Amino acid sequence: MYLYNTLSHQKEEFVPNHPDVVKMYTCGPTVYHYAHIGNLRTYIMEDVLEKYLRYRGYPVKRVMNITDVGHLASDGDTGEDKMLKGAKRENKSVLDIAQFYTDAFFADCKKLNIKRPDVVEPATACIGEYIRIIEKLLDTGYAYLAGGNVYFDTAKLEKYYVFYDHDQEDLAVGVREGVEEDGNKRNKNDFVLWFTKSKFEDQALKWDSPWGVGYPGWHIECSGISMKHLGQDLDLHCGGIDNAFPHHTNEIAQSEAYLGHKWCKYWFHVHHLNTESGKMSKSKGEFLTVSLLEKKGYDPLTYRLFCLQSHYRRNLVFSWENLDNAAAAEERLLSRIAALDPADQSPVDQAALAALQARFTQAMDADLNTSLAVTALYDVLKAKTNDATKLAALADMDRVLSLDLLARAAARRETQETDPEIEGLVAQRTKAKQEKNWAEADRIRDELKARGIVVTDTPQGAKWRRV
Ligand SMILES: [Zn+2]
């Protein structure tokens, strides 16, 4: 399969470092508030990537951090700690806030059919890892102490801006956010590895360190957690595109300085979900959460389909109207699947199944083209093959897309309309069969068929549906 690698700016064939495991790392949520659906778009697409790797036969070990300390209001080192801000807002302890929003995050993931990663690690559980890395960075001259904090010295690197040439843009960010200068920094892009002299007197969580009581910077946690669980190299690192700089850039800086070799092979970045007025955020406009979608009567899986309908490297514009279009497409898809006969006893046509699967893998192998993969579902419905084969193909693709297609179609069959006249005919046919009056049973079946009704005999009795 081919994946776009942000590091090389091109699509590359995916070849993991080790044949026995794909090491995949995902930046997890900062648990100070509910996730908005823009954050969740990233997790949906990462979930699809993980499931597709497994579908292709790769054993995957996926690790995700939970940021419960150290993430300041800006992605640099300025502003208030987001966790502390959440705790103050809700008058709770930082740990209570972390637990509450971690649970809320995974509840949202469950509704969106996002699988929980194999390892989920809170940042506060790995302080020893960060200290070990920082000590070595100080020993080797990549880090320095200033004003009580430990900083990473970006001037020691041959190349700091590994993804893009951010220099100009980055300056603009500084001006825009009104970031105050940190006089301790030797270079503009240096970042904090460990805070002791915090301007936040009331920082709730602090640990002992060789440099005094304090807490870790945000970036170090992903390097520490990744190395703890996945060792000295990574195949895939995922996150939202806004994490490429400075977060991932800093992760690479400190990890490779620490390891002395290349760290991660492929960088997978999901682009923004925008509203019609611009980038989605928690503070601007309507706070779009999974709960809000539900409150408005949408199935969260409709949002998953909405995301799958577009490519992960394109910005996607969310509006209620766009979501309604996805809901209408979903409605058509599910009703057509519900019209397939689940009791079809014909053998699965293996050649037809393989041809349908090939369309799906072709789409997904091309840098995870999920919108074409969704089209492959319609190809299944249009194919000239029996229902058993179609249902097998849909079930197979849904292992990756996770839209609960078959279960939701089955639920539609259950809640079939009631029609006394047709039910009367179905009952007459059942009676004729019990009386072994086969001619009469067949006559009624044909009459129903002429009205566009198909009857299926199941262990629970005869079921009917319109075709
Ligand atoms: Zn991270």
The one-digit pLDDT tens for each residue of the chain (467 residues) are 999 999 999 999 999 999 999 999 999 999 999 999 999 999 999 999 999 999 999 999 999 999 998 787 766 677 778 888 888 899 998 889 999 999 999 999 999 999 999 999 999 999 999 999 999 999 999 999 999 899 999 999 999 989 976 655 555 454 445 456 788 899 989 999 999 876 566 777 889 999 999 999 999 999 999 999 999 999 999 999 999 999 999 999 999 999 999 999 999 999 999 988 877 776 666 789 999 999 999 999 999 999 999 999 999 999 999 999 999 999 999 999 999 999 899 999 999 999 999 999 999 999 999 999 999 999 999 999 999 999 999 999 999 999 999 999 998 887 666 788 888 999 999 999 999 999 999 999 999 989 888 887 766 678 787 76
pLDDT given at position 465: 75
Pairing type for strands 264-270 and 234-240 reads parallel
What is the 181 CA–ligand 1 centroid distance (Å)? 24
What is the 424 CA–ligand 1 centroid distance (Å)? 63
pLDDT given at position 169: 55
What is the 323 CA–ligand 1 centroid distance (Å)? 30
What is the 269 CA–ligand 1 centroid distance (Å)? 12
What is the 218 CA–ligand 1 centroid distance (Å)? 8
pLDDT given at position 224: 98
C-beta atoms surrounding 353 within 10 Å: 19
Fold type of domain 290-414:
Four Helix Bundle (Hemerythrin (Met), subunit A) (1.20.120)
What is the 27 CA–ligand 1 centroid distance (Å)? 4
Give alpha helix (H) positions in 30-120: 37-55, 82-90, 94-111
pLDDT given at position 174: 47
- List the one residue out of 18, 38, 19, 20 whose CA is nearest residue 29: 38
CB 26 within 8 A of CB 240: no
Q: Structure tokens of 277? A: 């007025």
- List the one residue out of 185, 198, 199 whose CA is nearest residue 145: 185
* pTM of the full structure: 0.88
Please give the radius of gyration of the chain, using alpha carbons only, rounded to the nearest integer: 27
What is the 18 CA–ligand 1 centroid distance (Å)? 23
What is the 278 CA–ligand 1 centroid distance (Å)? 24
What is 2-270's CATH superfamily? HUPs (3.40.50.620)
What is the 121 CA–ligand 1 centroid distance (Å)? 12
CB 368 within 8 A of CB 55: no
Which residues make beta-bridge pairs with 466?
453
What is the 244 CA–ligand 1 centroid distance (Å)? 9
What is the 26 CA–ligand 1 centroid distance (Å)? 7
Instruction: Kindly give, in sequence order, each residue whose CB lies less than 8 Å from that of residue 331, ignoring residues fewer than 6 positions away.
Output: none
What is the 234 CA–ligand 1 centroid distance (Å)? 13
CA distances from 371 to 237, 363, 392, 453 (A): 23, 8, 20, 33
Q: Return the half-sphere exposure (C-beta side, CA atoms, 13 A cut-off) of residue 123.
A: 27
